[in-house]
Chains A and B, each alone.
Chain A
Amino acid sequence: MRQLGELEAEIMYRLWAWGRPATARDVLTDINKGRPLAYSTVKTVADILHGKGMLKRHKEGRAWVYTPTCTRQQYTASLMQDALGNNPDPAGTLVSFLEQLTPEEEGALRSALRAAKRRSEA
């Protein structure tokens, strides 16, 4: 299962890096430069990614051509939204060290820390 996740990442990395639509065969050729892997494996994982909504695909001739639905930055941004509590996720999904604060609240934190340091030095 872990290896499947890694292969998903490998495929996504390549498609993001190339910045153009590609077939499973294109991806396989690139992976095969480093290690042997069966075409059916790459095709299956690409279809899983399509099923998860991470890749979209259309047919060119007889082959499916895959494109990432979002950029890497967009995915990272969506994770950050979860983490900083901007998404109305059910409670218990994840626990953040510090929620998003307003500039005033952040200033209040700073001055509390400064005051404590002055006290400890005095």
Chain B
Amino acid sequence: MNNSLIIGRKEFKDILHSGLFLTVLQLLLALTATSVIVSSLVFKSQVSSYQSSFHILKELGKQPGGPEPQLFPLNLLRGAVDYLEIAGAILGILLGSLTIAREKNTQTLKLILTRPVSRKDLLFGKMLGNATFIGIVLVFVGLFAFLSLVFVAGAVLALTELIKLLLVLVISWIYIMAFFSLAAFLSLGMRTLSNALILAFTIWLVFVLILPQIGDTMDPDNQVPGGFFNSIHFNKEQEKQVLARFGSYENARNFIEELSVTKHYERTAFALFGIKPEFNGMQVPDILGQKWFDILVTVLFFATGTFANYSILNKKDILVWD
């Protein structure tokens, strides 16, 4: 354990020293701020268009239909979740690849492993340092999201909302660490580092972008700008009735989405932020109870990655870093 701490501390210092990560941190903060600003502007424009049509209808002597759009501050963080999905995974991949690159390029992995250090110490040390860094980045992102909500959107956050924000940060942390372990595994196992990096990015592309995209574009409701059912004035109930007849198609669509760890992460985060309206009023334990499977898949992805690294590091009959 002591060895893991020594390795972890050095790992953390290394990351802080490389200017690259200041850039990534700034990028993530800028993306969070951008998404909060754009979302709150969109929300404000929705409110003002509601109000103007409300006045027109009133002047015409008609009863305006539908309630005024209500602000759920955490809804404004949808874009931030999207960015954590995409850029967070990139950060994980880069850290995972760099942590191995640092040792491979300098042959220092051989030096470490000829010390009384077990390979488990090495793995946990590396994970500890990177997990701490990712944790700190996420704390900054969370703080920044909170401040943007308060100062840009003028929102007031209740305690439950703060807890939800914190939980999303925790699940994001597991999600990013999963990509970290994927990249570290590939960098350990493959001869050329840049090949390992490109392979990691290919996997990222498939899991993070392509699979969710296929599921999304197969959604009948997404075929018309603004939503198909909306365009023919169907409500949720009627939509369900119609879609019930296309069970196998919907199942296939869902199956494709289920293959992507990103979608599971996104479903959990979206539920906690109440992006789907039915989750807005729900208590935290109920949301977690409903989303247990998505949380489990995200955790399993991370656990599998960690185990894979452990196995490859223990495979002593090949020198994985030569």
Q: Do the two chains bind?
A: no
